[in-house]
Structure formats: structure tokens, C-alpha cells
């Protein structure tokens, strides 16, 4: 296949842990050709298809200079998105206005015949914090609001709570407020911007001490191992980006129950890859934009997550014809 990865700048990749890199490496190993672009490189003009200014790359296997760009004629750099066999949308959050616009351009490319994974409409329809609202049977006590009094009532009821912005990633902007309510007012003001922004509030789950589990689901099928991201020191956040320690472990019966209830349903909507975040027995987030942890799981267990993904991508591309 001729693949296009829409991603962040390649120079920003930490290839020892980057999941998009793992996908590219496996795709190249299987003989697929790799091109890359950023969302800013995608454009459309009336009367013409959606195009992208792309770079054709080859992975070198070197830890520093890990890719080389193939020399290309000008007409090869500007490509119709529909001409690729598959497009893998891997732009990291935040899900801001530019991400939103990129999904619309990619959806237009789909109308022209492009095959995009994850599906642009599905990316828009499943914001990572709010997608859990569809599955209340799996979540703990949760509130979504802009209103200060609502948050204070929730805190009075549950006494130990987590507050987080809807557009954060990697644990950014997450606060814990215990029974004493220390700094609750200031935290609400910081997050809800005097009622201008919506906040998610959840009851604190003590099981975070055993890790915030990332469960990967590929084309509706759960990867048999998850990565428990365990907070370190005095941190409440288990995210690897916030210093959490990743420990791969087999899925529990509850993990598998959650994955099998949600995974096939979202796969049918065009979400080839999702990452479920589970603390204890409770679902806390559904990651759809660029779920990670491929390399950590593979290194610790020997299960090749990237191979499972690329095989699913090949099958999904074949089905789309």
C-alpha cells in the first residue's frame, strides 16, 4: 500500500516510544510505502480534489537520523489525498479548531474516494473526555458543567474529586481536591474561565494507585495486554507524559468486558484504533485521536501491537474497495 500519515512534525518524534513511528516501522517492514504530512499541509480548491504537500520517507533504522526523504519532483510533492491507498490520521491533541477543520478537509477527501483511519467524522463525534457519556454503565460518578455551584455540590457529595479540562492531553490541567476543599474556588476559576469553559469532574478513584490502565482496541478487538500507568511520588496523574511509570499487564475480566462492549460499536463507526483509559473497574476516557503505548506494551510482553494494527489497517483498506 501507499500510505499517508497525517501527524505532528517528524522532528518532534521520540522514536523510542512513539506509536506513530512504530506503525510506520511495521508498515515499511511489510513493504508499504510511507508518505507524511501535517494538517497544515492539506488544502482544497474548488474544482480540484483535496491535496496535501507530502514527503515520501524511508526509515533508516538509525536512532538519530531515523528517516530520509526521497527526492521528489514538484508534481510528486503535491498529491491528491484520494490517490493514497490509506490515510492514517495521527495528529496529537488538542482537539482545537484547526484539528476540527482538518477533519472536514479529510472528510471531503473521503467523498472523493480517500480511505481515512480513524474516520474524520468519527473523530469529531467522539471527543475524548465526553465519549464516555454514551457508556454510563462503565463510568464512576461524573459531572460535566460550566457552573460553579454544580461543581461545589458534586464536591460536597463525593468529598474527593478530580477536575479536568475537556481539551487536555497527557494529564495537563488535572486537579485533585480532597475533603477539605482547599483551593476549590481557585481551581474552578482556572478551569471554567468564569463560566466560559466546560469542565469534567469525577469522583477520585483510589485504584489510581494501581495505575491508569490504557487498553488498546484495534478494529473492535482488544490487545490482550494493557499498560498500567502508575503515578510516581506525590503525583495524582499516571500519564507517562506526567512522569507515570508504565507497567504492562494482562487484561482483567472487567477490562475485557469494557473493551468488548465498546470496541466493536466504535469500530463500526470508523474508529479502527481506540485507547480506553480505565482506573480500577471504571472507564474514565476514550482516546480516538492518536492513542499511544504500542511500544511499551510490545517491549514488556513481546506482543507486537504495531503488527496487529497494520494487519487491521490492511484488512480495513481491502474492505473499503
Q: What is the pLDDT of residues 76-85, one digit of tens each?
A: 789 999 999 9
CATH class of 2-122: alpha beta
Specify whether domain 141-204 bears CATH 3.30.1490.20: yes
Q: What is the DSSP letter of 71?
A: P
pLDDT tens per residue, range 182-192: 999 999 999 99
Going from the C-alpha of 6 to that of each of 54, 84, 112, the distances in angstroms are 9, 12, 18
pLDDT tens per residue, range 100-152: 999 999 999 999 999 999 999 999 999 999 999 999 999 999 999 999 999 99
CA-closest candidate to residue 205, choices 147, 297, 280, 120: 280
Which position has the higher pLDDT, 55 or 95? 55
Kindly report which listed range (113-122, 165-174, 308-317) carries the lowest average pLDDT score.
165-174
Residue 239 three-state SS: coil
Judged on CB neighbours under 10 Å (0-12, 13-18, 19+), 95 is buried
pLDDT-based confidence at residue 237 (cuts at 50, 70, 90): low
Q: Which residues are catalytic?
A: 129, 164, 214, 229, 237, 277, 285, 287
Domain boundaries, the chain: 2-122, 141-204, 207-314
Phi, psi (deg, nearest 5) at residue 100 = -60, -45
Average pLDDT over residues 199-228: 96
pTM: 0.94
Q: Which residue has the cell 458534586?
A: 154
CB distance 1 to 24 below 8 Å: no
CB distance 52 to 37 below 8 Å: yes
CB distance 239 to 170 below 8 Å: yes
Phi, psi (deg, nearest 5) at residue 140 = -85, 180
CA-closest candidate to residue 288, choices 38, 115, 117, 42: 117
The CATH superfamily of 207-314 is: ATP-grasp fold, B domain (3.30.470.20)
Residue 71 has a pLDDT of 85
Going from the C-alpha of 16 to that of each of 21, 58, 262, the distances in angstroms are 9, 17, 30
Average pLDDT over residues 244-271: 97
Amino acid at each position: 500500500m501507499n500510505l499517508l500519515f497525517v501527524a505532528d512534525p517528524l522532528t518532534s518524534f521520540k522514536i523510542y516510544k512513539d506509536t506513530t513511528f512504530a506503525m510506520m516501522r511495521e508498515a515499511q517492514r511489510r513493504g508499504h510505502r510511507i508518505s507524511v504530512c501535517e494538517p497544515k499541509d492539506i488544502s482544497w480548491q474548488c474544482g480540484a480534489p483535496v491535496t496535501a504537500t507530502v514527503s515520501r520517507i524511508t526509515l533508516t533504522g538509525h536512532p538519530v537520523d531515523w528517516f530520509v526523504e526521497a527526492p521528489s519532483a514538484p508534481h510528486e510533492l503535491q498529491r491528491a489525498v484520494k490517490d493514497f491507498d490509506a490515510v492514517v490520521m495521527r495528529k496529537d491533541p488538542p482537539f482545537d479548531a484547526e484539528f476540527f477543520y482538518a477533519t472536514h478537509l479529510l472528510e471531503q477527501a473521503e467523498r472523493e474516494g480517500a480511505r481515512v483511519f480513524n474516520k474524520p467524522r468519527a473523530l469529531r463525534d467522539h471527543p475524548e473526555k465526553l465519549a464516555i457519556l454514551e457508556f454510563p454503565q462503565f463510568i464512576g460518578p461524573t459531572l460535566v458543567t460550566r457552573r460553579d455551584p454544580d461543581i461545589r455540590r458534586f464536591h460536597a457529595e463525593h468529598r474527593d474529586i478530580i477536575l479536568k479540562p475537556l481539551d487536555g492531553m497527557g494529564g495537563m490541567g488535572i486537579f485533585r481536591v480532597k475533603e477539605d476543599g482547599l483551593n476549590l474556588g481557585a481551581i474552578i476559576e482556572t478551569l471554567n474561565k468564569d463560566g466560559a469553559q466546560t469542565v469534567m469532574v469525577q469522583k477520585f478513584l483510589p485504584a489510581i494507585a494501581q495505575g491508569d490502565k490504557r487498553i488498546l482496541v484495534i478494529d473492535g478487538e482488544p490487545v490482550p495486554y494493557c499498560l498500567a500507568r502508575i503515578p510516581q511520588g506525590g503525583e495524582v496523574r499516571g500519564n507517562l507524559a506526567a512522569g507515570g511509570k508504565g507497567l504492562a499487564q494482562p487484561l482483567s475480566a472487567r477490562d475485557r468486558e469494557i473493551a468488548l462492549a465498546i470496541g466493536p460499536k466504535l469500530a463500526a463507526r470508523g474508529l479502527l484504533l481506540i485507547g480506553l483509559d480505565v482506573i480500577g473497574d471504571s472507564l474514565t476516557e476514550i482516546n480516538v485521536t492518536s492513542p499511544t503505548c504500542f511500544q511499551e506494551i510490545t517491549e514488556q510482553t513481546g506482543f507486537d501491537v504495531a503488527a496487529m494494527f497494520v494487519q487491521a489497517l490492511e484488512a480495513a483498506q481491502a474492505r473499503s474497495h
